[in-house]
Structure 1
Amino acid sequence: MFKEVFSLLAVFIGLFLFGMIVLRNGFAQIGEERLRNLILKLTDSTWKGLLVGTVITAIIQSSSAIMVIVIALVAAKLLTFQHSIGIILGANIGTTVTTELIAYEFSAFIVPFLFFGFIFLLFPGKLAYALGCLTFGLACIFIAMNGLQDLAHPLASIPWVHNFFNVTNEHHLLGIAIGGVLTAIIHSSTATVAIAMGFIGDHILSLPAAIAIMLGANIGTCMTAYIASIGAGQSAKLVAYANIWLNVFGVLLFIPMIGLLSSFVEMLTSNTMMQLAHSSLIFNLVCSLLMLPFVPLFTRFITFMHQKETISN
């Protein structure tokens, strides 16, 4: 049973990531160059950068992709480091659209989405291809979500896994560590949150523990941007460090408020998956809006902390 359950878990995680890739590929038809031009034209201030980062990330469903583009623009000296902060803040908000989407119950649409997605992919043209990727990718994501929920109970029936969940429910720092490490490995905070959704949906993980995992996922997702910044120059490295510090500050701010946040989202909806999705949205929205007025000060802080290191590298 042990091997079968974990094999299925790996399959569903892989299917979820595949669905995300297909979904993003459909949105990518607008072209990376167009995204670059749009970012350059509309990010002459921090608050504009926040709006642009939010909208574009919500559309293409990938904060990591936005971060890679931003790092490239900063490395090419087409975008200033300070203006990039606004885009990072917006990207953190925009990525929560995916978690809100997958929290809904769309099981009835899986077969139609698979069918129409396959049909659209047979037609020529960018629009048909984009629609095919969108519907087929969503179907894969929803299949994976159903699978993760169904696996939650048999997985928790394994004694040592059950004990592990009990410890995670009692110690939020462990949940944060799990979220960070898992996201750094699979390079998708959305997938990590989706896994947590499967477990809280079966009442194996408590909502506060799932929120802790979500907080850790926000730190773990910084790994992609850091890797992209290696060898990209001094300013680009500062962008990656800024992304890390923003999420670390946010997590430190919310650790004492996990219980309060849990109680608040429970008042908003009785759906446990939606509760976690709303928690992710509230966390990223509050952190980004709180940081926005302090971007110049934060920019100086990052420069002071990492200037010598980036020069030596």
Structure 2
Amino acid sequence: MIGAVLAPFTFGLSFFLLGMYAMRTGFQNLAGKQMADWLSRFTRTPLLSFWVGLLSTFVLQSSSAVTVLTIGLTHAGMIGFAQTVGIILGTNVGTTVTTELIALRLETFAVPMLLVGIALWLMPRRLTRCIGLVIAGFGLIFLGIDTMQVMAKPLQQSETFRALFLESTHSVWLGLLTGTVFTGLIHSSSATTAITMGLMSHQVLGIETALAIVLGANIGTCFTALIASIGTNTASKQVAWCHTLFNIVGALLFLPFLPQLGAISAFLTASPSMQIAHSQTIFNVVCSLVALPYTKQIAAFIQWMFPGKRKR
């Protein structure tokens, strides 16, 4: 039983994370060198900062990477903390692009995309190699998802696992905690969401439990930023805590409305995977757009909560 679950989970997660790394590396080689310039130049207004955060997250395929980069720029004094609030809101929306792509269930194209990507990566031109790395990364991601879904059947037959998730159906708090801790351990909310999609597709999880796990994944992804802020200046720590508190507050506010969120996503699509993807998109877009007009107030609140050392 343990081997039947652990093997596909380990290999699938490894494929998935390797694919994310390959895709991110390919995008970084294409546009990553200009990323720091974009972040520092185009953050004059909250709306511009929002779009910079959204586009940067789409390019780097990691909200954590953009947040860590933002922490680095803040620590270097290239941008002020107040400018970063819009970026943080944008990263939360940008990360939903990956989730929506995963939900399209392109697993049948995994091996062809991987082979095409490798063939392009072996070409001499740098641009072609970068594009090949991105395509191969997508292929590995879908191969990882397909592999991880193999564990769904033995999990369904496990009395312990069924008892755990039966308890989760009575308490969405357990689902929230599961998503938070698991994402914190593997440093990828997209991987947690992909695993949740697979389990829900095989009717191991109900919609409310799955959504609670996804909300927890949004919180868990903040651990990387908190770690990156260790040893930095006050402004950088404020960036990390702003990202963390925003995701915690958003998750807690949405938690009582999971049945309604599930109903809306079920109305939009019958596919379990797409329901999770749409729910996460709705959650992040609503939270970010509601908070966007109040970026100055949010910045002031975070600065009040985490003030710098007073000069004597």
Deviations 1:148-186 (A, max 9, x none): 223212122111011112112221000000000000000
Distance 2:210 2:70 in 1: 30
Give 1:271 deviation, angstroms.
0.5
Please state if 1:214 is matched with 2:232.
no
Partner of 1:278: 278
Q: Contact conserved, 2:111 with 2:143, CA < 8 A, in 1?
A: no
CA offsets 1:29-85 (integer angstroms, 9 cap, x no match): 135441011111211011110011111211221111111111111111111101100
Q: Distance in 1 between matches of 2:70 and 2:84?
A: 7
Deviation at 1:311, TM superposition (A): 7.0
What is the CA–CA distance in structure 2 between the aligned matches of 1:214 and 1:116, rounded to whole Å? 32
Is 1:144 the equivalent of 2:165? no
Rate the CA distance shift 1:154–1:303 in 2: closer, same or farther, 3 A.
Answer: same
Per-residue CA distance 1:66-125 (angstroms, 9 max, x = gap): 111111111111111011000000001001100000111213312321221111111123
TM-score when scaled to structure 2? 0.96
Aligned partner of residue 232 in structure 1, secondary structure: coil
TM-score, normalisation: structure 1: 0.96
Q: How does 1:64-213 map to 2 (within 5 A)?
A: 64-213=64-213
Inter-partner Cα distance in structure 1 for 2:111 and 2:227: 38
The number of equivalent residue pairs is 311
Within 1, Cα distance between the matches of 2:90 and 2:107? 30
2:254 maps to a residue whose letter is F
The answer to whether the Cα contact below 8 Å between 2:28 and 2:59 also exists between their aligned partners in 1 is no
Q: CA shift at 1:297, angstroms?
A: 1.2
> What's the counterpart of residue 267 of structure 1?
267
- Matches of 2:266 and 2:194 in 1, distance apart? 18
Deviations 1:261-297 (A, max 9, x none): 0000000000000000011111110000111111111
Unaligned runs of 5+ residues in structure 1 are none
2:60 aligned partner, one-letter code: I
- The amino acid across from 2:75 in the alignment is A
- What's the CA shift string for 1:189-227, capped at 9, x where partnerless? 000001100100101101111100000001110010111
Looking at structure 1, the residues matched to 133 and 44 of structure 2 have their Cα atoms a distance apart, in angstroms, of 33
Match of 2:250 in 1: 250
When the two chains are superposed, the root-mean-square deviation of aligned CA atoms in Å is 1.4
1:238 is aligned to 238
